[in-house]
Amino acid sequence: MQKTFDITSASRKIVSQFLENHSLEQLNKIPDGFKNNLIWNIGHIVVVQQVLVYKLSGLPMMISDELVQKYMKGTKPEHNVTQAEVDEIKSLLLKIIDQTKEDFSKKIFKNYQEYPTSTGFTIKSAEEAMVFNNFHEGLHIGIMMGLRKFI
């Protein structure tokens, strides 16, 4: 699992640079031809990791239900986020990964509700969820790199 978390940490550092290097206006901008914006992708990354690893393990998530409703699969930006919302997402970005790593070391992930992903892969454990999460985050980083060219 250490390599999986190393990859996740590297991914999250890349994502955090989008927050550091873009204004609130840029984070909220949806360029022509796109369905979402930078901040939606970042919020989505935070939410999906929590749903895949914690919720499907039957454990409480470290994020609010409101955040889940705004950024879960199938949603799209409905409003411009505030700086306070950006700050919340930014604080969660690394904090929840540190806690997840600690929870794996404590072996709290006992059960898992299998989940067939839209990519055709079925996740059968919290460990597989973290591996898949890295793939998922990579997809969204690619989308974000495309987005930033148009903002």
Please report the pLDDT score of residue 79 as a whole number: 94
- Is the Cα dihedral 10, 24, 28, 26 positive or negative? negative
| CA distance linking residue 146 with residue 45, whole number of Å | 16
Q: What percent of the chain has pLDDT over 90?
A: 100
126 within 8 A of 57, measured Cβ to Cβ: yes
d(CA 27, CA 18): 8
Query: Could you please report the per-residue DSSP string of 18-56?
Result: HHHHS-HHHHH---TT-S--HHHHHHHHHHHHHHHHTGG
Q: What is the pTM of this model?
A: 0.95
Spell out, as residue ranges, where the chain has pLDDT lower than 50: none
Tens of pLDDT, residues 23-64? 999 999 999 999 999 999 999 999 999 999 999 999 999 999
